[in-house]
Each structure stands twice: as structure tokens, then as C-alpha cells.
Amino acid sequence: MAGKMLRMTLVHSPIGHPESHKRTVRALGFRKLYETIVKEDSPSLRGMIAKVRYLLKVEEI
């Protein structure tokens, strides 16, 4: 059985936010606004999501 997957959508622009938050959004794999990415859940991924949670919409699938 595979681990839980997370569907993340970038719903707010990182423009005007701290540089570390912009780098975190890029590290998650986002390139454009409203882009959706599916990744396997992990503690490191959860930490990155927690840092920029105000920019993302996250769903477990």
C-alpha cells in the first residue's frame, strides 16, 4: 500500500513575501500560480507546507 499523497495548489502569489518563502515555493516544485502538484506525504514535505501554508491549498488524496 502506497503512502498518503498530497495535492497542493498555489493559490496566492509569493511576490512581496520573504525570500525564504519564495525559495520554499520553488523547492516544492511550483512555477506558476494555480499550478497543482501531487507528492507523497513526508515529514520534510509537511514542514515545507507549514512554512508557506498561507499560499497553498492542500488536500489529502
The span from the CA of 37 to the CA of 7, in Å, is: 6
Which three-class secondary structure state does DSSP give residue 8? strand
> C-alpha grid cell for residue 21?
518563502
The span from the CA of 4 to the CA of 8, in Å, is: 13
Domain residue ranges in the chain: 5-60
Give the tens place of pLDDT for each residue, 6-44. Answer: 999 999 999 999 999 999 999 999 999 999 999 999 999
Whole-model pTM over 0.95: no
> C-alpha grid cell for residue 23?
525559495
Pick the CATH number of 5-60 from 3.40.50.970, 3.30.1390.20, 1.10.579.10, 3.20.20.140: 3.30.1390.20
